[in-house]
Amino acid sequence: MASLSIGAFYNPHLGAELVRGDGIDHLAMADPPAPGDPHWPAIRARHTLLLHDYLGQLSEPLDERSIERARTLAELYRTPWVAEHFQCLHTVDGTYNLNYVFPPLYTEDFLERFVRNATALKARLDQPLVMENIPGFFDVQASQLPEPVWLRRFFDATETGFLLDLPHVWLEAHYRAVNPERWLAGFPLDRVVELHVAGVEEDRDLGGPWIAPAEPSDEMLGFLAHAVTQCPQAKAVTFDAFSPSLTAEALFRSVERIRAAL
């Protein structure tokens, strides 16, 4: 395995620190830079940037406006790959929208939809497409395939890359009461290009842990170290925290601990 790039998300409120700081190999971009962001020129000049915006949900084909937006951002960032999520969060008629990542039903029909639409998007991009797994808090009875099997078939059909979000896998294992490493073993790890790692925190509505812009625990870093050994094509690990509440100390310390864990 080539040496891994270790990075974080670009948090604009930490722009000054990210311009000056050391130890960050890349920055993932969740939003386009704000027009008045004084740090953006230096950030762009200094860092490798990964496009990780919301482009659209691939249960439907992306429209021309969304594809052009993706192409423009990819060119602006000079991104080595473009990321999107396995998500289906708004209804076809636009009436209901969860405003939060939510997985599709793992069915043959949705597999065919995602394969078709991801293949079409991939053909319009000048960079490889990678797709990120999304956690489910509950199973939907209508799903026909286990998520890892559905993902394996998707990646085999599209030959896109896998952005493996480890806390998402860890959370699913937690709520299924199974060992995280055993749950992870079923995923198509040979397709992984990038890994996300972050902390989890107790959520009072869920009555258990969930994704949070927090530092990864030692347990999560151990899980990362294990996962990386199973991902021979991995090129990057990103500290997945994007929030105005995130401090520079927490970001730099997390990246440092990720590097040390690997």
Partner 1 sequence: MSDRALQDDVIRALADAPYRESAAWRARRLADPDRVERFARFLARHFYYERVVHFFKYSRALARVTGRGPEAVLTRPGFEALVPTIVLGSRQTAQAVAQLVVTHVGGAGPVIPYLADLLRYEAAMMVVEAGPRIWRDGPERKDEGVGSAEWSAPEKVEGTVLLELAYDLPLVLPQLLRPWSDVPQAPARSTTLLVARSPHGRVAVARSTAAVAALLRLADGRKTLAQLALDAGLEVRELEQTLHGLVELGAVRFSTGS
Residues in the site for partner 1, rule: CB under 8 A?
56-57, 59-66, 88-100, 102, 104-105, 107, 109-110, 113, 137-142, 203, 205-207, 210
CB of 145 to partner 1, least distance (A): 12
CB of 53 to partner 1, least distance (A): 15
Stretch (H or E) spanning 76: helix 64-77
Q: Which is nearer to partner 1, 1 or 98 (CB)?
A: 98
Alpha-carbon span 49 to 28, nearest angstrom: 6
Alpha-carbon span 160 to 215, nearest angstrom: 29
Contact between residue 88 and residue 110 where contact means Cβ atoms under 8 Å apart: yes
Alpha-carbon span 220 to 102, nearest angstrom: 22
DSSP string, 95-141: S-B-SS--PPP-SHHHHHHHHHHHHHHHHH-SS-EEEE----SS--T
The conformation of residue 70, written as its DSSP 8-state character, comes to H
CB of 89 to partner 1, least distance (A): 7
Task: Pick the closest to residue 26 from 1, 53, 44 (CA basis).
Answer: 44
Q: Which is nearer to partner 1, 22 or 93 (CB)?
A: 93
Q: Which is nearer to partner 1, 61 or 128 (CB)?
A: 61
Q: Which is nearer to partner 1, 32 or 61 (CB)?
A: 61
**In 3-state terms, what secondary structure has residue 43?**
helix
Q: Which is nearer to partner 1, 22 or 94 (CB)?
A: 94
Query: How far, rounded to the nearest angstrom, does the alpha carbon of residue 38 sit from its chain's CA centroid?
Result: 26
CB of 179 to partner 1, least distance (A): 21
CB of 116 to partner 1, least distance (A): 13
CB of 256 to partner 1, least distance (A): 29
Q: Which is nearer to partner 1, 183 or 252 (CB)?
A: 183
Alpha-carbon span 89 to 143, nearest angstrom: 16
